[in-house]
Amino acid sequence: MEKQIIPLVYDEEMLKLHSDIYTYWDLRKAPHAAVQGATGLGKTFLCKLVLARIGLYIPTAEITLCDFKGDDSFIFLEGCARYHKFEACMTGFDTFYNGFIHRQSGLDSSRNLRLIMYDEWGAFLNYIDKKQAEEYRKKLATILMMGRSFNYHILLAQQRLSAEDFPKVRDNLNTVITLGNPSKEIIGMFYSDFREEIKNDRGVGTGYMMTNGSDFRKIVVPAITNMAKVDYCIKRAVEYAT
C-alpha cells in the first residue's frame, strides 16, 4: 500500500523560529478530517490544497467531491463523474457509500485510497427531510467508524461544525482544523483540554488544529503559488479510475 502521509499546514510556533515545518495528515492513523471556518477565512483554499496533495502524493487515490454550496471554486471539475453539485450530492454520497459497502463485503478487492470531500454537510442535512437526514447521518457514521480498515476516508468542510450533524461519532473526526477563532461550542467539542491556549487572535489563513484528541497546535495555511497545478492534481484524482 502506498504511503499515505501528506503535508497539511505550517506549525505557527516553528514559523516564529523561521522554520517552515509542516504538520502532516497520516491517513492511516487519522483517517478522517474536518475543516471549519467562516466565509473568507480560507477554508476552500485549504481544502483545495489538501485534495491536490492527495492527488500528487497518492497517485492512485480516487476523490469524490460533493460541492453542496456549488459556487465557482470547483468549476474546473464540471463534467467529471465524481464531481457533484447541490442536489446531485445525494447521488454522489450514495455512490461513495455503496462502494464502501462493496469493499467491506469483499465484492471489491482493490485497496486504493478513496476519499470523499463534502462541502457543507450540515447545510445538506438541513435541506433534505428529517427521515432522509437521519439515514445520511447513519451512513456517514458507518464510514467514520469503519472506513479506516477499508481505506475509505472523509473530509468535511463547513462554516460551522455541529454535534447534530454527526451524533456520537465526532471523535472519529481524527483531524480537525478550525480557521479563525473557534466558537465556545467548537472549543467544547474539540479543544476543551486546551481552552486556555486559545486566544481571540486568529485571522485569515490561521487557526488551530487537533489530531486524535491530544496533538494541539496553532497553524498557518501555506500560500499557493501555482493554482493551475493544484487544479490539475485535484482533477486527476477525481477522474482517476482503477
Q: Read off the CATH number of the domain in which 137 is found.
A: 3.40.50.300
168 confidence band (pLDDT: 50, 70, 90): confident
Reported pTM:
0.96
| Mean pLDDT (the chain, rounded) | 94
- Spell out the alpha helix ranges (H) of the chain: 12-16, 43-57, 89-105, 121-127, 130-146, 184-190, 227-239
pLDDT at 1: 57
- Counting DSSP H helices and E strands in the chain, the numbers are 7, 10
Average pLDDT, integer, range 56-85 = 96
Q: How far is CA 230 from CA 32, 45, 74, in A?
A: 21, 10, 11
Between residues 164 and 34, the one the model is more confident about: 34
Q: In whole angstroms, what is the distance from residue 30 CA to residue 44 CA?
A: 21
pLDDT tens for each residue of 184-220? 999 999 999 999 999 999 999 999 999 999 999 999 9
Taking CA atoms, 161 is separated from 34, 65, 119, in Å, by 8, 19, 12
Q: How many domains does the chain have?
A: 1
| Cα 120 to Cα 29, 69, 166, distances in angstroms | 25, 6, 13
**pLDDT at position 159 over 70:** yes
- pLDDT computed for residue 200 by the predictor: 92
DSSP secondary structure string, 107-167? S------EEEEEETHHHHHHHS-HHHHHHHHHHHHHHHHHGGGGTEEEEEEES---GGGST
Query: What percentage of residues in the chain have a pLDDT greater than 90?
Result: 89
Domain with 109, as residue range(s), is 5-239
Provide the grid cell at 81. Answer: 463523474
Beta bridge partners of 156: 34, 118
pLDDT-derived band at 152 (thresholds 50, 70, 90) equals very high
The residue behind cell 479510475 is 241
Does the pLDDT value for residue 156 go beyond 60? yes
Would you place residue 20 in the very low, low, confident or very high pLDDT band (cuts 50, 70, 90)? confident
Query: Are the C-beta atoms of 69 and 120 separated by less than 8 Å?
Result: yes
pLDDT at 242: 80
234 closest CA partner among 76, 66, 94? 76
Average pLDDT for 71-94:
96
- List phi, psi (to 5°) of 2: -65, 150
Within 10 angstroms of residue 182's Cβ, the number of other Cβ atoms is: 23
Q: Alpha-carbon distance 22 to 95, whole Å?
A: 34
Q: Which of 72, 118, 127, 128 is nearest to 95 (CA)?
A: 118
Q: What is the mean pLDDT of residues 148-153?
A: 97
- Least trusted range by pLDDT, from 14-23, 75-84, 197-206: 14-23
